[in-house]
Amino acid sequence: MYADLHLHTHYSDGTYTPEELAERGRERGIKVMSLTDHDTIDGCKQMAVACDDRNIEFISGCEFTVELEGFELHLLGYFLDLECARLIEQLEKYQAVRQNRIHEMVFKLNELGFKITSDDVLDIANCNSPGRPHIGRVMVAKGYCRSLDESFQKYLKKGKPAWVPKSKMTASQAINLIHEAGGLSVIAHPGLYHRDDVISPLVVAGLDGIECFYTRHSTPMTEHYLMLAEQHALLVTGGSDCHGDNKGQPLIGGVKLPYAYVEKMKLAVST
Ligand code: AMP
Ligand code: ZN
Ligand code: FE
Ligand code: FE
């Protein structure tokens, strides 16, 4: 029995519907799935039904964009109470930040001479939690870039001409919020940051786990984070970070988290 606990749908910057995602997971033999869209839980109830219809265990989730001393990182929340009023209120606040940022970045692209409108982006995004990939898709659709990656490399990445900063929760606010919603907090894809020094302060703030198994983690990297998880007595999670088919082959099921780790998560959330 395997799990994939890091997945996106069109409720943020993925391309699949919950049903399409659950179906891809079923085809690949995944028995447990979590939906972890960026700063939103909007797709979770639909995904719960889609999983239930396919005999797949569903874990509610969200990927929170946070900052720790000015550094941006992603925290995954699992087993969240989807009715938690404070969680809903905080997510809505940061979704508004995302929507405003689309206007600001489109303004910069207009100054650079590109004829794109916020509505182009918000129409393609069609969700409450739009992000830079939606801007990139419009740049590609209009022929201004050959690929999503090119749009990031030339314009959208931090430091590039259309980039604007985005206000974020602090890591400790996000961890407290996840706990208030009854969930577990996990640092997402630590191997991508080259900043293992963030782990200790996160542990002090109440971090519950490390995403050790991840598409872009090499085997030595995975082993390194398994060791750190053991050292800090943290849970181990894993997932593919599938965004649908906008980045080539769908990644779902490419990372297989053994069910024993899911059982440990369940034990931790119930105590
Ligand atoms: P945002 O949420 O607006 O800050 O955009 C960040 C998201 O863009 C990440 O979570 C990734 O899913 C995606 N992303 C980052 N870099 C790239 C890239 N080079 N090509 C395509 N997507 C990217
Ligand atoms: Zn994403
Ligand atoms: Fe991420
Ligand atoms: Fe992700």
> pLDDT for 171-219, tens place per residue?
999 999 999 999 999 999 999 999 999 999 999 999 999 999 999 999 9
> pLDDT for 221-239, tens place per residue?
999 999 999 999 999 999 9
Instruction: Please give the average per-residue pLDDT across 241-266, as a whole number.
Output: 91
Evaluate if residue 248 carries a pLDDT over 80: no
Work out the pLDDT band at 247, boundaries 50, 70, 90.
low
Query: Ligand 1, atom 1: nearest CA belongs to which residue?
Result: 131
Which atom number of ligand 1 is nearest to the Cα of residue 13? Answer: 12
Work out the pLDDT band at 159, boundaries 50, 70, 90.
very high
- Ligand 1 in reach of 64 Cβ (< 6 A): no
> pLDDT for 102-143, tens place per residue?
999 999 999 999 999 999 999 999 999 999 999 999 999 999
- Ligand 1 in reach of 77 Cβ (< 6 A): no
CA of 38 to the centre of ligand 2 (A): 6
> pLDDT for 47-89, tens place per residue?
999 999 999 999 999 999 999 999 999 999 999 999 999 999 9
pLDDT for 249: 75
Proximal ligand: closest to the CA of 148: 1
CA of 188 to the centre of ligand 3 (A): 6
Tokens found for residue 117: 């409108």
Q: Which of 67, 132, 166, 189 to mutate to test the pocket of ligand 1 (most atoms within 8 A of CB)?
A: 132
- Ligand 1 in reach of 132 Cβ (< 6 A): yes
- Ligand 1 in reach of 149 Cβ (< 6 A): yes
